[in-house]
Every structure is written in structure tokens, then in C-alpha cells.
Chains A and B, each alone.
Chain A
Amino acid sequence: MNTAVLVTFGLSIVGAIAIALAGARAVRFSRWIALAAPAAAAWSGLSYLLGAGPGGTGGAPYIGEAVVVSVRWLSRADAGIGVGLAVDSLAAAMLIVVGVVAAMVVLFSFGYMAEDRAQARYFSLLSLFTGAMAALVTSSSLVGLFIAWEIVGACSYLLIGFWYTRKSAANAAMKAFLVTRLGDVGLLAGLAVLYHETHTLDLASVMAAVPDLAGPTVALVALLLFAGAAGKSAQFPLHVWLPDAMEGPTPVSALIHAATMVAAGVFLVARTWPIFEAAEGTRLLILAIGVITAAGASVSALLQTDIKKVLAYSTISQLGFMFAALGAGAWVAAVFHLVTHAAFKSLLFLAAGSVIHGSGTQDLREMGGLRRAMPVTSATWIVGAAALAGLPPLSGFFSKDAILEAVWHATPLAGAALFAAGAVTTCYITRATRLAFCGTFRGSARPHESGATMWLPLVVLALGAASLGAASGEFARAFGGHGGLSLPVAAASIALAVAGGLVGWRLGETGARRAQSGVAAFVAGGWGVDAAVVRLAGASVVASAALSERVDAGIIDGAVRAVERLAQGISGELEGLQSGDGRAYSGLVAIGAVLVVGLTLWLGR
């Protein structure tokens, strides 16, 4: 298992370099290398779980971990920072998720990106991303985690802006990078506070030291870490980058902006759970933000006309569910939902990619009737949609109900909001399904089913999305907690899902032609956060510009002019010396030598 983890990184980095070096012409062969790292990641996770056996590692995270490699870095006598890799059940589960989804995405991309000229760059970045994501989940210290976190963010930036000649793509990449960076500042500050308090950043030692920390410190650290997590996981109000990130290639959206990287925030909180467990006030904030995000984004998803934007807001909303669970203290439920969500959301994205590929548009209003033209795609989409809606016996049912139950027990008010969000979830996905696959085709192209490399991943992921619910018991045993379902919660959520579905079906019929009112446009645009940011940033930029202009003109320019006058005065005196006459120069040197010798004699007496 140790070797498998190390092989994952080796393959990832070597693969990234090899694919990039092989160039565009050899990409037909070199792209297969990109499959190696995901396969190794999935294998290493799987072999750990099989080796540990069911129930072998129960309890809190970071108990019973297997240290793969550990080195001291920036070592000093009294303190130092270690980096290393370690695998526990949580990391192993994430490794499997990353590995499987990445492998499916790479396979899917063989078909989806076949026409692109920059494939070498694409597959190289995918390989690098897989390795960085694996490093993120297996890192045994917060430093290593942070480094991987940033590499993952850089890969995201590069892949969102993959079609960099499109201005919108370049802008979206920049926006994603900057907004997540805002959260990362918080994360970095959190690490700094932690290091100051505990003198270590090794996860195991930090977690062991948490009970000794003062209450306010823990709350502050938890808040800062959550800021980083919220940025990466697109939580309100830092969610604005994710819808724009859909400018990237659709398989990238499936891998990075649905299944793995955006879930890194949830993973971070789960990984440092003892801190959050001790910080009750922060958890309440997380719960509130999670619920707001889940509900708000699901309503926004309802009004989108772009199939990828629907899924983007859906992802934000589902991440909100996970954070609500974290806020309610049910981190196992959150991680379980992370896993199932990775399966069905990457499935939905890849199916959307297949739809875009086959129909030539990503506007829902121009689709319709794809059921007949693309049978495999539509069947797998419906599996994913049902899983998202939480219909039994698909995976989403188990994980979402675990969240609903936990939140309901924590705060009935938040629970009720989440129930409503769940209903809206069914509503928007039913609407999108009907718009895309039912009725008659409204676009101009000739829709066709995609090739085998594209529908095969869909089928694999559909099997996962359908069957992962069965693992809920295993999951609960591996991490603690209970795997059972509460009957009233399940019944209520199914009833709401069906009701939401019926409303969505109606919307799917009428929504095709309805013009959007002002309020609807406001909601569809992400509740005006973008506009507020622009207005706030604009005002502050103008104010600071005015201030700096005054400082510039008064103090800086004044100082510069004074220095200039001084220099001119001095140089005016000295310019006679710079005659360009070599003889004068050498004479001066000789006179200088005489002076030095004389001085030495005089002083040395």
C-alpha cells in the first residue's frame, strides 16, 4: 500500500512531464499515461481499505493511520515543520473517489477532447491535478496539505482558462483564482495561528494538542480554516467563482469543479475535525452558511438556461448540504455525501458533456428530445438525476437523508430549510431533464450518441451512483456513527422530492419560453453577490486611488524632487572631474595611491 501511494505521485509527476514533452503529435499514445496516476490512486486507497478490513479503524480521523513517508523540513533546533504522507480511512476513501473519477474523466476526455489541438497540455494538467489531489488527501501535515491545496488551485486555474483565447474563459480563470485565494489567506492565517500555539503543523500532533488550547483560539482557528474551505468549496459569499468556472472543458468541470477539488473544503474540515468539534460557535456559523448556500444556490439552479450552469449551482447547493452537516456535527454524513456526490455529480457533468458534444449546444432551450438520439447518455443522466434528487434506492438518498436527519436534530429551523432545498433540488433537476431529453429537438444540429470512450465512463459512474448507497453501513462502521435511516425523515424527504419533481416537470414545459423577470434575473445571477463585490471593490478602489494620489503628489513626489535637486547640486560640483580624459583618471588614481601610502605611514608610526 505504501508503494502504491508513492507510485501515484511518481506516475502523476512523471506522467505530466512526459505528456507535456511528448507534444501534440504523440498525444494519441501519451494520453494513456494520464490514466496511470488515477489508477494507482484508486488502487492505493482500495488496498488500504481492504487491508484494514471493515471496522478496523473506527473512531475519529487520524486514528490507525499508516505513515507512508515522513521527513523533516525547515528543521530548526527547537522547532521544525514536517511533511509526509499518511493514509487513514478518510484519505483512502478520498483516494478512491479521486482515482475513479479522474480515470473516468480522462477516459471520457479521449473522446470529448479529440478535436482539440492542445490535448497534450490538457492531459498533462489532468495528471498533475490527480497527483496534487492525492497529495492533498494523504498529506500528514498541514503544510503539505496547504502546498497541495495551492497546486490543485493552480491546476484549476489553468484548466478553467484552458481555452485562454476566449476572453470569458481567461476572466473566469482569474476570478476563480482570486476568489479562492481570498479564502486561502484565511487558511494560511489559520495555519500561522496554529503553529504559533502548538509549535507544530503535523496533523496528528496538532489534533492531540487541540484540547489544551484556549476556547477563543480554537474558535479563531476554526473560523480561519473554514474561510479557506469556503473559498475552495464555493460557499456563500465566496461561491461566485464556480458558475464562471464552467468556461473550462466539461470533463474538467466534472473532475475539479464537481467531484474532487471543490470537495477539498469539506475534506479539510473533516480532516481537522477535532478543532471544529471544540469550536461550537464556529460550527453554528458553518451550519448557517451551509444552509444559506444550499437553499440559495438550489433556487438559482432552477432559473438557469445553460445546462452546465444548472449543474454548477447544483454543486454549490450540494456542497452547502455537506457544510450544513459539518455544522451540525455530522462529519461522517458530510464525507459520505461527498463520496456519493462525487459519483453522481461527475456522472451528471460527463453526461452534460456528452449532450453538449452530441447536440452542439449547451443551452437547455435549444435541446429537447435527446432521449431518442442519445439513449445511453439519457439513461445514465436519469440515474444521476435521481441520485441527486435523493430517490431510493440510489446513493443520494442515503447520504442526503443522513444529513437531513443530523441537521434536523441539531436545529429544526435549519433542517426545515434544508428539506425545502432538497425539494427545490428535485425540482430543478427534473426541469433540466425534461428540457433536455423530452419533447422534440429545438436546436439546429443533428444530435447523435457519443462514442464508446465517452459512454463507458458514464455507465461506470452510473453504477457507482446507483449502488454506493449500499456502502453506507460500511462507511458508518469505518468512521463511527450509525448507518441506519430514520423512517420519518426518509418519508418526508421522498414526499418532498416527488412534489418538487412534479413542479419541476411543469417548469420544464413552460420555462422554455418564459422571459425572465427582474427578480428572477437577480436570483439566477447568484443573488447579486457579484454586483455587490463589484460595487464594493469599485468604491474602495476609487477611494484608495484618491488617497494614494494625494500621498503620491505630496510626500513621494516631494521627496523625489528633493533628492533630485540634491543629486543635481552634487553632480554639478563633480561633473568637472568626469572629463573623459584617461590621463587625468590615472593621475588621480596615482595621487590616491600616494595618499593611501602616506596615510598608512602616518598612522602606522
Chain B
Amino acid sequence: MSASDITLAAAVAAMIAGAAGTALTRDVTRLVVSLGAFLLSVAAIFLIVASSLLAIAQVFVYVGGVLVLVLFALMVVHRDTDERVGLDSLHDIGAAAVAVAVFAGLVALLLPLAGTTGSQTRALPNDIGAFLLGDGVVAFEIAGVLLLVALLAVLVVVKGGEDR
């Protein structure tokens, strides 16, 4: 087992731990911390297997953007209560069974696809840029339009809420 394999295993373990924390914790602060841990480990995995650019984008967009948004939303929703807010769940065996079934199905589906001959080449930012503005330019543009639409949608939704 090489050093990079160990790092990868550690990142994956951190990712699962973060996910579990997000799913199970009863404390708002811990939820945010767990989600952050999850997102950072995803970035770490990207860094190890794919590309540094992707890892950086993950950190900027998720940790810097989405996580902060979640934090803000939690603060808005719970600002009027002084005590530490609890997050409760409706744990039940059915949901757990479905989740386990999905896990088993995914592993059974995807593991045979993985193979063992992973390419060790990693994508350079230049290559990603060339792809995004070359073959993937349509998808790139559509994503841009989608972002614009999402921006407008947020404005409309929030504005509409104020009017009501």
C-alpha cells in the first residue's frame, strides 16, 4: 500500500464520517461542521485522483459558497430562539432499509465497472479549460445560462416572499 493509497483511504474515511455527521447529528453547529468536513474531503479526493483545479473549485464553490449559505439560512430560520437549537430526525427502519438497499445496489452496479487499471494521469487546468471551451462549450454555455436563471429565480422567490 503506497502513501497515496493511504491518503486516499483517509480522505474517503473522512468523507463518510462527514456524511454520517450531517445525517445524524442533533446540533446545528455540528451539522455545519460535518457538512464542511464532507465537502473538504471530497475536495481532497478530487485533489488526489483527478485535478487540483477541480479540488480548488470544490473548495471555493461549496465550502466558500454553499456552506456559508447554509449557515446564513440556519441563522435566519433560528434567529428568534435563544436556546441551542436541536435538529431532530424521524429515524425509522424503513428509511434505513431503503438507504442500505441503495448502497448495495450501487456497489453491485458500479464495482464491476471500476476495474483495476486506473489511469494515473491527472488533468491539467489547461486541458480542462480546452475541453470546456472546445467540445464541451455547449454544456458550458448551458450551465452559464442555468446559473443566470437560478440567480433570477432566487431574486423572484425572495422578493415574492417579501410581498406576501
Interface residue? B3 (CB, 8 A)? no
B87 within 8 A of partner (CB): no
Contact A593 B102, beta carbon cutoff 8 Å: yes
Shortest A472–chain B CB gap in Å is 70
Residues on B with C-beta less than 8 A from A598 are 101, 105
B109-140 interface with A by 8 A CB criterion: 109
Q: A594 and B105: CB pair below 8 A? A: yes
* Bound-complex Cα distance A587 to B99 (A): 10
CB of A604 to closest CB in B, whole Å: 8
Cross-chain contact of B95 among A587, A593, A601 (Cβ < 8 A):
A587
Asked whether A591 is an interface residue with its Cβ less than 8 Å from the other chain, the reply is yes
**Most A C-beta atoms less than 10 A away, residue of B99, B102, B105, B106:** B105
Q: Shortest Cβ distance from B7 into chain A, in angstroms? A: 31
The smallest C-beta distance from A525 to any residue of chain B, in angstroms, reads 63
CB neighbours (8 Å) of B105 from chain A are 593-594, 597-598, 601
Q: Is the interface of A mostly helix, strand, loop or mixed?
A: helix
CB distance from B47 to the nearest CB of A (A): 30
Interface positions, chain B 84-100, Cβ under 8 Å from A, are: 90, 94-95, 98-99
Is B109 within 8 A of A590, CB to CB? no
Distance from B144 Cβ to chain A, minimum over Cβ atoms (Å): 29
A590 B108 Cβ-Cβ under 8 A:
no
Partner of B101, one of A583, A594, A600: A594
Task: Give the docked Cα–Cα distance between A105 and B70 (Å).
Answer: 74
Q: Whole-angstrom distance from the CB of B93 to the nearest CB of chain A?
A: 12
Selected from A583, A590, A601, the residue in CB contact (under 8 A) with B90 is: A583
Nearest CB of B to A588, in Å: 10
Given contacts A583-B90, A591-B98, 13 further A-B contacts (CB under 8 A): A587-B94, A587-B95, A590-B99, A590-B102, A593-B102, A594-B98, A597-B102, A597-B106, A597-B108, A598-B105, A600-B109, A601-B105, A601-B108
The 5 A-B pairs with the shortest beta carbon distances in the complex, nearest first, are A597-B105, A594-B101, A590-B98, A601-B108, A594-B102
25 contacting pairs across A/B (C-beta < 8 A): A583-B90, A587-B94, A587-B95, A587-B98, A590-B98, A590-B99, A590-B102, A591-B98, A593-B102, A593-B105, A594-B98, A594-B101, A594-B102, A594-B105, A597-B102, A597-B105, A597-B106, A597-B108, A597-B109, A598-B101, A598-B105, A600-B109, A601-B105, A601-B108, A601-B109
Contact surface of B with A, Cβ cutoff 8 Å: 90, 94-95, 98-99, 101-102, 105-106, 108-109
